[in-house]
Structure 1
Amino acid sequence: MTKFIFLLLPFLAFSQKTETIDLSKSIKNNKTNYKSLTVIDKRSNPEIGSVMYHKDQVNLVFENNADTDFKNWFYKYNPVRGKEELVLLLENIALSEETKEKYSIGKLEIRASTFIKKEDGYHFLYKKDTVTTVSSRTTPYLAQSLSKKLTLTFTDLLKKSYEARQWEFPVSDAELSDYATVLKDKLEILKADELKEGVYKDYYSFFTHNPEAGFNIETDKKGVVTKAVNGDKKEPIRNFYAFVHNGIPFKVIPVGYVEIFRDDQGLFIEAKKEELFPESNSSFVMVGGGIGGLIGSVVANVAIVAIDAKAAKKRSSMAGTEVSLDPLTGNYILPEDFMKK
């Protein structure tokens, strides 16, 4: 029996392979230099996971470990030291595989966030909470493909963090594991009975309930909001993230704007895929900061939402899907299969 076990060991060792994550894409920061990068690994499991390649199990691994590799990557492209400390919080990096009858799907889950550390605590910058899938029908090299997607995800996270506006609300060490709930609890927009009239330049100003000073909203003859005016300065409404008009909040989207609703989970809109992600050849267009389109266009009929009662009535008969707004990034939280509808 002992001899048989020893004969199996070489075979088992041969069937185990690794795909090392290649953190080599440029993450140079051209705006602000940080004095250091701190990696806080809160993952429940330091192992990432594996997928199969033919009969071999391929483990996705860091070259050294997450802390060392992310620091080496960062300092390689950011050798100049500044004054602030950038913090990368790793919450989840997990690889799994779902086997079908004739193929398999590799799934990579990533949840990570960035902060600026100051004397009063951690100030949130940006986050990534994504699930990426690759089918063996597209490529047999699932581990290699998902390794590249991991690098691209963290590249995007860091680059967006460089541009992000740091939150004024600090999070303590004890609160860091539950920072999203802590920050949401401090947002006035989720609690206020009356919303402040005006336009909101970005998601941060909207969720912290701080409209642009001095701007008034203008509408056309039909009551459709077209622009915001501050003295001689006029800006089309499409240049803003959201606005509040007559006490009603609206989210600006590529084809116009839609009403924002609130429930105990947060803020959401009702929209269709073609409204949030219109095709480049769509007959619907934004005209002069307002809303326009060819008569009879499906997208136009769906998308014109305003104070105009006729437009609102048209759209109510073609209601979209609930899409939540992420208060920490301003991005859409799309329901499952939303892009397939």
Structure 2
Amino acid sequence: MKKILQLTFVLFVSINFAQKMMVIELKESIKDKRGLTKALTFIDKRQDKKIGIIDDKGEFVTIKFEDEDVKNHVESWFFKDNKKTGNTDIVVILEELKVYNEQDQDKEYPYAKTKIKISSFLKRNNNYYFINRFDNVIVCNPKRVSHAPKYLAEQISEIITEFIKGSYSSTITSYAISESDIDNYNQYLSKNNKAVNNSELKEGVYTDFKSFYNQEPNADYSLRKNKNGNVVRLIHKDLQTSLAEMFCYVEEGKGYKLTPVGFDEMKKNENGFYIYSSRANLFTESKTGGVFVGAVAGGLVGAAIGAAIDSGSNRNSGAINGTGFKSSIEGIVYIDSLTGAYVFEN
């Protein structure tokens, strides 16, 4: 009888423990519809492979990958979905992935969050060419989501899936990175960002991130202001056009980023350019899936994933589609020095 009780207790503990585990399933299609990709190499560069634990209504839930050998799983996943392959080698690097609860200032309860940073490269002749990067914090609102661990696990899966699919077709930069420099790719490539590294910004209108990165304002565009000195119109070759065609403008040495609530001054610190804003100010709407925060339209890497400015619509001027809770908490929002995307840090 004692052995039976001990066995029952062990089974109970095992079942109870299993109920406190949420797995990230990577199983949706990552087919390259154009059949250009030959192989996908996945590099897990996370220093700490433990993703984290989330409080789910008083119970602590561990979030983990369904298959903890993520490299083998993703590479096998690619070949399962891509029977016909091309000539392109894609390398995807998972740099950071953490889940946690965080008590934001002036909030009565903590929010569940996930921090994820993932990048991709085209590999050719032992050189790497940067394709794209997703670097953000996704916020879960416990009042709108019944189970935060499930929600975050699904978001992580969707972001990785969409990021891989987008990497097949996004354009690359023209700068080759040697294999020995790949660990420091950000530092290496950021040296080419003239906006960050030049002592002064060139005045004028920048229609996309790439032109801002290269400090090449578009002379075909000009601005019109109202009597209060606020920019209200964008002019293209003497014809008024949508403000959404503009990434930013520079005047008297200062850059101003277009957002749905007006122009925000872009300031700079050791990490690059940033504005002071919130998801509520920048998101067109709160998304629970699908498109996530990504490259700004017309940016250095294009906008194949992570849709951004709709250049044909005034109502989306400076807005982005985002995933996660449309938080009103304001803070520093960086402008990614390689993609032009917004990087939310909390």
* TM-score normalised per structure 1: 0.67
Equivalent residue, structure 2, for 1:257 = 263
CA distance in 1, matches of 2:269, 2:148: 40
Larger displacement relative to structure 2 (38-47 or 27-36): 27-36
SS of alignment partner, residue 108 of structure 1:
strand
Change (3 A) 1:210 1:69: farther
CA distance in 2, matches of 1:235, 1:257: 17
C-alpha distance after superposition, 1:290-332 (max 9, x if no partner): 99xxxxxxxxxxxxxxxxxxxxxxxxxxxx8654322233223
SS of alignment partner, residue 179 of structure 2:
coil
* Contact 1:198–1:215 (CA under 8 A) maintained in structure 2: no
* Contact 1:16–1:56 (CA under 8 A) maintained in structure 2: no
Equivalent residue, structure 2, for 1:309 = none
Equivalent residue, structure 2, for 1:313 = none
* Contact 1:225–1:290 (CA under 8 A) maintained in structure 2: no
CA distance in 1, matches of 2:151, 2:226: 53
Q: Which residue type is aligned with residue 128 of structure 2?
A: Y
Change (3 A) 1:205 1:164: farther
Query: Identity over the aligned pairs, expressed in percent?
Result: 27
Q: CA offset at residue 45 of structure 1? A: 3.2
Equivalent residue, structure 1, for 2:188 = 182
Equivalent residue, structure 1, for 2:125 = 119
2:43 aligned to which of 28, 40, 59: 40
Mapping of residues 142-291 of structure 1, within 5 Å: 142-162=148-168, 164-212=170-218, 215-219=220-224, 222=227, 224=231, 226-230=233-237, 235-245=241-251, 247-271=253-277, 275-277=281-283
What count of residue pairs does the alignment treat as equivalent?
293
Equivalent residue, structure 2, for 1:302 = none
1:91 aligned to which of 95, 117, 127: 95
Q: CA offset at residue 40 of structure 1? A: 1.0
CA distance in 1, matches of 2:260, 2:114: 30
Q: Which residue type is aligned with residue 330 of structure 1?
A: G
CA distance in 2, matches of 1:165, 1:104: 39
Unaligned runs of 5+ in 2: 104-108, 287-311, 316-329
Q: 2:334 aligned with 1:324, yes or no?
A: yes
Please tell me the root mean square deviation across aligned C-alpha atoms, in Å: 4.1
Q: CA offset at residue 171 of structure 1? A: 2.8
* TM-score normalised per structure 2: 0.67
C-alpha distance after superposition, 1:2-56 (max 9, x if no partner): x9xx867555544432544322333344467211111011122334345577878
Q: Which residue type is aligned with residue 16 of structure 1?
A: F
* Contact 1:84–1:117 (CA under 8 A) maintained in structure 2: yes
SS of alignment partner, residue 174 of structure 1:
helix
Equivalent residue, structure 1, for 2:17 = 16
C-alpha distance after superposition, 1:43-98 (max 9, x if no partner): 22334345577878655233362112222333444443222211110112334568
* Contact 1:33–1:78 (CA under 8 A) maintained in structure 2: no
C-alpha distance after superposition, 1:213-263 (max 9, x if no partner): x52424257563622435x88743421212334544322222443332333
Q: Which has the higher contact order (CA 8 A, sep 6+)?
A: 2
Unaligned runs of 5+ in 1: 281-287, 292-319, 337-341
Change (3 A) 1:25 1:9: same
Q: Which residue type is aligned with residue 268 of structure 2?
A: R
SS of alignment partner, residue 168 of structure 1:
coil
Change (3 A) 1:52 1:161: same
Q: Which residue type is aligned with residue 130 of structure 1?
A: N
Q: CA offset at residue 137 of structure 1? A: 6.7
Change (3 A) 1:82 1:274: same
CA distance in 2, matches of 1:252, 1:135: 27
Q: Which residue type is aligned with residue 282 of structure 2?
A: L
Equivalent residue, structure 1, for 2:76 = 72
Q: 2:67 aligned with 1:63, yes or no?
A: yes
* Contact 1:227–1:290 (CA under 8 A) maintained in structure 2: no
* Contact 2:61–2:149 (CA under 8 A) maintained in structure 1: no
CA distance in 1, matches of 2:277, 2:111: 29
Structure number, greater radius of gyration: 1
CA distance in 2, matches of 1:31, 1:160: 12
SS of alignment partner, residue 68 of structure 1:
helix
CA distance in 2, matches of 1:30, 1:128: 22
* Contact 1:34–1:86 (CA under 8 A) maintained in structure 2: yes
* Contact 2:23–2:66 (CA under 8 A) maintained in structure 1: yes
SS of alignment partner, residue 109 of structure 1:
strand
2:115 aligned to which of 109, 132, 155: 109
